[in-house]
Every structure is written in structure tokens, then in C-alpha cells.
Amino acid sequence: GAVVSQHPSWVICKSGTSVKIECRSLDFQATTMFWYRQFPKQSLMLMATSNEGSKATYEQGVEKDKFLINHASLTLSTLTVTSAHPEDSSFYICSARDLGAGRAGANVLTFGAGSRLTVL
Amino acid sequence: AQSVTQLDSQVPVFEEAPVELRCNYSSSVSVYLFWYVQYPNQGLQLLLKYLSGSTLVKGINGFEAEFNKSQTSFHLRKPSVHISDTAEYFCAVSENQAGTALIFGKGTTLSVSS
């Protein structure tokens, strides 16, 4: 089945530094990937929709300049948290839809295992 | 826009007992509905989905859910739970178009004890 890989799974960084998280679809192509953020014991909040070859679409309240999203190919999207601060510490999860899944897979998203960011 | 309400934040049950996790949604358009499970420090795994057709949907691990359009509900059920079912369960909704994002409920923590 479809697999989405996220890297790194855990990252600790100092305040003020930038961190890049990669999201790869391993065995399928995805023109659209979604980035979610999850706080402890809470639900997943959609941050942005990443579109291959074009700018990402951000949800209201999400800072575009802080959370840079690049979708350079059909199998890779990256999320860069710039000038990270402790309040950016969270669990970031990406997801993608298998273009080749056809009607049976309509809008079924495959999720990565998530990346836990801790900013000191 | 869509929204999802999971009515129970925590559901404690004993092993081998039946369980129902409730989910209601609101939307002005037709929707797809999903249940995902999340184990600690892991991503989400799809349990089942409703896209169209039969309103009773069977998923993995013995779970099933029923789509009720009149009550805008999509409750998840399992007739007999195991300790290993202890996890966080999320109900999600999207427009019935491919490529749209999923909107999640706040989650229900299912705790199964012996």
C-alpha cells in the first residue's frame, strides 16, 4: 500500500534556528500534500496544502514566513520552521493522496509517522 | 466549511466489552467520512472510510461504522475490544472531492482495561 515517510522523526533545536522536515511519498506520486500540526492530547490542525510546482495554500492564522513549504517534486514536500521558538514545539504530520488510487481511493490520505519538534 | 464533533473525549471500557465512539459532522456539501487511529508518538492509521454506497462500513481490527445522513453521524463501533485497542481515535470529514483536506475532530481516547 501507499507509504509516506517523514524525516526526521525527532528533532531538538535551539531557539532561533531553522528546522526542515521532509515528507516523501515512497511508492506513489502526489500532486498535493497536507501539513498538520498536533499539540499534546489534541487534534490535528491543518496548517497548509502543499501543491507541486506552485505556492502552498495556508490556513488562516498560520504564518507563511515562519512555516515555509516547498513541494519541488511529485514525491517530496518540505516544511521549514524558520527562527524556531519554544512555542513552535509540536508534532508535525504530513499526508498525501495517491493519484493512482482511482475512484476506490478517492480522497483517502496516507499519513506519515510524524516529526516531533522540540525547541529549547 | 466542514466541522466534526467527537462527543466523548475519553471512553474507558473493560476488555471484551462493546464500545461505541460517537462522531457528528456538519457540512453544507456532500462529504466523505473517515475514522483514524493513532498510537502514542505515531502517525495516523486509517480504520475505515465512507465514500458512498452502503452506509455500514467495515474496517480493520473488527471496527465498523454507520453513516447516518439524517442525524449527520458516523459512530464507530466494535463488539468486543482488546487491550491493544487502547489508542486515540479521530473522526474526520472532507468534501466529496478528491484532493481536499481532511478536517479532524478533537479525538477520543479509548482506554481498555482488564
Confidence at A107, pLDDT banded by 50, 70, 90: low
Cβ-Cβ contacts under 8 Å, B33 against chain A: none
pLDDT of residue A103 exceeding 60, the answer is no
Q: Does B82 touch chain A (CB under 8 A)?
A: no
Closest among A23, A22, A26, A32 to A3, alpha carbons compared: A26
With bands split at pLDDT 50, 70 and 90, how would you rate the model's confidence at A2? confident
Res A101 pLDDT > 90 = no
With cut-offs at 50, 70 and 90, classify the pLDDT of residue A28. Answer: confident
Instruction: Grade residue A102 by pLDDT with cuts at 50, 70 and 90.
Output: low
Q: What is the pLDDT of residues B35-79, one digit of tens each?
A: 999 988 788 899 999 988 889 999 999 999 999 999 999 999 999
Question: Given pLDDT bands bounded at 50, 70 and 90, which one contains residue B18?
Answer: very high
Shortest alpha-carbon distance between residue A111 and chain B (Å): 6
Confidence at residue B13, expressed as pLDDT on a 0 to 100 scale: 97
Residues of B in contact with A114 (CB under 8 A): 41-43
- Across chain A, mean pLDDT equals 89
Burial (CB count <10 Å: 0-12, 13-18, 19+), residue A85? exposed
* A42·B106 Cβ contact <8 A: yes
Confidence of residue A99 (pLDDT cuts 50, 70, 90): low
A106 pLDDT above the threshold of 70: no
Q: How confident is the model over A67-95, as a mean pLDDT?
A: 94
Residue B102 has pLDDT above 80, yes or no: yes
